[in-house]
Structure formats: C-alpha cells, structure tokens
C-alpha cells in the first residue's frame, strides 16, 4: 500500500508524468520481454527486433509481429490502464509515456500517450516513410506491401534504432517539468526510457515505482511499491477518491 506521503503528493500534484513498461499490460495477458516467460527468453531479439533482421528476413520478422498482434488483439486493458486514463482526466497537466507498443493504454481511455517505441498496429513504408494503421488480423500478405509496391515495416523502434526526436523531446520536457512521476512495470534497463525517472528526480519531482520486483532505479525513487500494478493502482485510486 502506498504511504501517506505518496498519496498526498499525488493528490496535490500539478504536473504528473506516468512512465509504463510491459508490466502494466502483464495482467491483461500480454507477455513481457524479460520475465520468466518473457519474449526474450523464447525468442532472440537480434533475429526479430533489429533492422538487420528485417533486412535479412522480413517474412520471419513479420510472422513474429503477426503472432504478437493476434495474441494482443482480443486482450482488454486492466485496472492499471483504466486508473491511468482516469488520472489523466482528473489532472490538468498530465503526460503518459509508454514503452509499450500494444495500444492498450488507448483502448483503456488514455488520450495523450507518448509512445517511445511506436505502435504494433501501425506500419511504415520503407520507401516513402508514410505511416498508417494496419489492423488486418491475420495480415493478408506477409510481408505486407504499400500501395507504391514497397514493403511495409512495423512502426516500432527496433534495437539499434534511434527514437523519434520529437517523441523524445516531449518525454524529456515532461519529466523535467513534472512534480510527480510514477514508473510502472518496467525493468528500466532499456535507454533512453530508463533514464527518465532519474531526470525527473534531478529536477525535483517526487518519484514512485510500482513493480513486482526491485529494479535498478528502486534505490533512487522516493517510494518503491512492490506488487502487481493493477492491484496497487486499484487501491491508490480508492485512496485518492477518499473512500
């Protein structure tokens, strides 16, 4: 249960930032990356989530993303996603930054979502750079082709690729300016996302972590809450609603 200081800090916060990772979607049934049954335990990221892998075998990479899309599609947002969307509605200055590509924050009602690593429901033409939604399940063609005849890639950030500078600028500005930050369900080992809580802390924010285990940032946050995000956020919601 969050301590009274955390609850009061959240109740009085004026500029809130939430950073999420795969752990926020775990209770919806979305596999995480580094957990016991994480994707990187069963698949080699270097064979599936790099530009070189896509160059080498776009069909294999797309078969893996098609499989992930089919897993994610029927899944619903959980209490954690819905709490974050409710918090956004009740906070005048609010930024959600997510590393997730599953789209469950938007499905759970979040409006202003900074997607650091892109979105599995969007594609990008490798020739024109055009980005658009592609919701076919399963994909009609693997790999899918653009109208211009070129191949389409998932609109996600792969290992070794840089993040969109505009997206990063939004994230950096938000964490530098916030007075309260919650870091939920991330192993905090992938950069630049892993450094965002440190920047918030350096700029005077009160930072809370929610995770089922300790992470490399647990020692620097103001409160590290160990437990499932959906459960903790559900309790926190009732606390700040005053009942």
> Closest Cα partner for 183 from 9, 3, 17?
17
Residue 88's closest CA among 13, 26, 2? 13
Q: How many CB atoms lie within 10 A of CB 158?
A: 19
Out of 7, 38, 151, 234, point to the residue binding ligand APR (CB under 6 A). Answer: 38
Half-sphere exposure of 49 (CA within 13 A, CB side): 16
Count of residues near ligand APR by CB under 6 A: 23
What residues from 43 to 62 belong to the interface with ligand APR (CB under 6 A)? none
- Give the x-and-dash track for 191-230 against ligand APR (CB under 6 A): -------------------xxxx-x------------xx-
Catalytic residue, chosen from 73, 81, 105, 117, is 117
State the burial class of residue 55 (Cβ atoms within 10 Å of its Cβ: 0-12, 13-18, 19+).
Answer: exposed
Rounded to the nearest whole angstrom, what is the least distance from the CB of residue 115 to ligand APR in the complex? Answer: 10
**Distance of closest approach, residue 160 Cβ to ligand APR, in angstroms:** 12
- Among 77, 108, 143, 185, the residue binding ligand APR under the rule CB under 6 A is 185
Give the CA angle between residues 12, 84, 161 to the nearest 5°. 115
Distance CA(83)–CA(98), nearest Å, equals: 15
Shortest Å distance, C-beta 98 to ligand APR: 8
User: Any catalytic annotation for residue 243?
Assistant: no
Retrieve residue 161's tokens. 């690729």
Footprint on this chain of ligand APR (rule: CB under 6 A): 21-23, 26-27, 32-35, 38, 99, 117, 185-187, 190, 210-213, 215, 228-229
Catalytic residue set: 117
């Amino acid at each position: 249960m969050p301590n009274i200081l955390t609850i009061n800090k959240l109740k009085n916060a004026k500029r809130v930032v939430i950073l999420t990772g795969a752990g926020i979607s775990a209770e919806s049934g979305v596999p995480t990356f580094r957990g016991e049954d994480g994707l990187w335990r069963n698949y080699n990221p270097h064979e599936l989530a790099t530009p070189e892998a896509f160059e080498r075998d776009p069909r294999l990479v797309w078969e893996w993303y098609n499989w992930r899309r089919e897993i994610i599609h029927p899944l619903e947002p959980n209490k954690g996603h819905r709490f974050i969307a409710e918090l956004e509605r009740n906070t005048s200055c609010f930024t959600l930054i997510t590393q997730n590509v599953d789209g469950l924050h938007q499905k759970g009602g979040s409006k202003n979502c900074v997607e650091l690593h892109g979105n599995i429901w969007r594609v990008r033409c490798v020739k024109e750079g055009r980005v658009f939604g592609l919701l076919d399940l399963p994909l009609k063609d693997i790999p899918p082709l653009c109208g211009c005849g070129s191949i389409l890639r998932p609109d996600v950030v792969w290992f070794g690729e840089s993040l969109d500078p505009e997206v990063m600028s939004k994230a950096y500005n938000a964490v530098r300016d916030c007075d309260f930050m919650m870091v939920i369900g991330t192993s905090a080992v992938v950069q630049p996302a892993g450094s965002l809580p440190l920047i918030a802390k350096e700029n005077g924010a009160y930072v809370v972590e929610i995770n089922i285990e300790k992470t490399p940032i647990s020692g620097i946050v103001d409160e590290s809450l160990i437990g499932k995000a959906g459960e903790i956020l559900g309790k926190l919601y009732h606390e700040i609603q005053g009942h």
